[in-house]
């Protein structure tokens, strides 16, 4: 059957011999791509009388949507909270390097910093599509400085702030601009936080609850004002208690507004969260889990001293230390079904950000950002807009 070019002159590529994640299950099917978009083969065959210009044998690989990381502080020597004159080149380096990890879109994350740092860095973060140059930038995630000193974690205490009388104006003055901001993490128990949550939500900015000593009632009130995310569940918040489960209780709360879903970030490295706790969270609220790396500048580098915003961290093997306290190890962990893990790294973050119509799925007409993985979920190749942007050298097609 000849290819019909009346709709588009671009070539049609058919990916064969693969298992596609679609409709919450892996299914044997072909993936059709043109102009950076996933095609409906029925429309192609019957409406356009078209066929493939190129066929690629995937050798039995899994094809899944590209991963979306909404909390990544840096990597490969680049610290997103460190103001430098060549900050954009750092973004470029990280966006290129994370392609090998299957990340096709991400939110550069800044930890608690002085206003001068936000004023210098945020104008240099450009929202952009991904491509051969690297993963797409969805906007900044600002984790702080409006958080609890009691649950500061690795954040510098001297930079932590509360809201002044005109709370939202105070926030804007602190950050300097909200043009590139996609997520703001704050502690909902801070006075005047409700006003801020409402104003951020009005502007399409996702509000996340974290680094907080909020009780369940305060967390529920924040959700009723528009908050939709929890930053690294279980970490830097009150521990679950049967009399008041705190922010964790949002996973099963009956006071979530109708039609609203609360998502929660999960660092599934076996260190930040015990696998048993991870399974409890998933069984309580499976459609809300969002896998994040929470990676820092030392990701991809040897042991040694690196930065995390205003602080110096020491990497020793798998662990990172600040003032002698074990903090982080970044890795994706397989702890459940393949389909569940893949959706938590792709579909759910897309839903959190309201971009599931074009990202996080392999549905027809969505962006052709996808991965080829082996049965152990090792990334074999990464595609953005239907173009191969990274491939494991040992894999030949």
CA distance 373 to 381: 7
Q: Which of 232, 10, 259, 221 is nearest to 111 (CA)?
A: 232
Is 294 catalytic? The answer is yes
Strands 67-72 and 103-111: parallel
Structure tokens, 46: 């019957």
274 is in an annotated binding site: no
Residues 6 or more apart whose Cβ sits within 8 Å of residue 116 = 83
241 is in an annotated binding site: no
DSSP state of 3: P
The catalytically annotated residue of 69, 79, 294, 369 is: 294
155 within 8 A of 115, measured Cβ to Cβ: no
Structure tokens, 54: 């190129």
32: β partners = 14
236 is in an annotated binding site: yes
CA distance 315 to 50: 55
Structure tokens, 282: 């998933």
243 is in an annotated binding site: yes
91 is in an annotated binding site: no
CA distances for 100 relative to 152, 390, 391, 393, angstroms? 32, 6, 7, 11
CA distances for 133 relative to 39, 80, 92, 95, 355, angstroms? 24, 18, 7, 8, 22
CA distance 348 to 342: 9
48 is in an annotated binding site: no
Helix, strand, coil percent content, the chain, rounded in steps of 5: 25, 30, 45
Give the length of the chain: 397
363 is in an annotated binding site: no
25: β partners = 22
Active site amino acids: 294
Q: Known binding site for substrate: residues?
A: 154, 235-236, 243, 272, 315-317
Q: Known binding site: residues?
A: 143, 154, 211, 232, 235-236, 243, 272, 315-317
Q: Known binding site for Zn(2+): residues?
A: 143, 211, 232
């Amino acid at each position: 059957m000849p290819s019909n070019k009346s709709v588009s002159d671009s070539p049609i590529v058919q990916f064969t011999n693969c298992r596609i994640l679609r409709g919450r299950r892996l299914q044997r099917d072909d993936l059709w791509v043109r102009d950076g978009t996933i095609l409906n083969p029925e429309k192609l065959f019957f409406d356009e009388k078209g066929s493939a210009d190129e066929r690629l044998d995937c050798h039995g690989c899994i094809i899944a949507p590209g991963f979306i990381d909404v909390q990544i502080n840096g990597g490969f020597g680049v610290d997103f909270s460190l103001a430098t004159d060549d900050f954009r080149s750092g973004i470029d380096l990280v966006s290129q390097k994370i392609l090998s990890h299957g990340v096709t879109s991400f939110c550069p994350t800044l930890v608690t910093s002085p206003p001068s740092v936000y004023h210098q860095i945020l104008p240099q973060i450009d929202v952009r599509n991904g491509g051969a140059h690297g993963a797409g930038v969805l906007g900044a995630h600002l984790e702080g400085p409006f958080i609890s000193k009691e649950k500061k974690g690795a954040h510098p205490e001297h930079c932590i702030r509360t809201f002044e009388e005109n709370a939202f104006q105070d926030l804007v003055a602190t950050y300097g601009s909200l043009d590139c901001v996609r997520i703001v993490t704050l502690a909902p128990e801070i006075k005047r936080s409700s006003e801020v949550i409402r104003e951020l939500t009005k502007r399409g900015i996702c509000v996340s609850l974290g680094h907080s000593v909020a009780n369940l009632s305060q967390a529920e009130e924040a959700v009723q004002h528009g908050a939709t995310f929890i930053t690294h569940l279980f970490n830097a918040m009150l521990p679950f208690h049967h009399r008041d489960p705190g922010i964790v209780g949002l996973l099963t709360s009956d006071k979530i507004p109708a039609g609203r879903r609360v998502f929660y970030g999960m660092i599934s490295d076996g260190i930040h969260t015990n696998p048993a706790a991870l399974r409890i969270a998933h069984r309580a609220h499976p459609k809300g889990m969002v896998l994040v790396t929470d990676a820092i500048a030392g990701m991809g580098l040897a042991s040694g001293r690196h930065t995390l915003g205003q602080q110096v961290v020491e990497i020793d093997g798998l662990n990172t230390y600040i003032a002698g306290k074990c903090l982080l190890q970044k890795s994706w962990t397989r702890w459940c079904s393949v389909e569940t893990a893949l959706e938590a790294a792709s579909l759910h973050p897309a839903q959190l950000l309201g971009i599931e119509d074009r990202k996080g799925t392999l549905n027809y007409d969505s962006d052709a950002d996808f991965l080829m993985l082996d049965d152990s979920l090792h990334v074999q190749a990464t595609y953005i807009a239907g173009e191969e942007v990274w491939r494991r050298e040992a894999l030949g097609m």
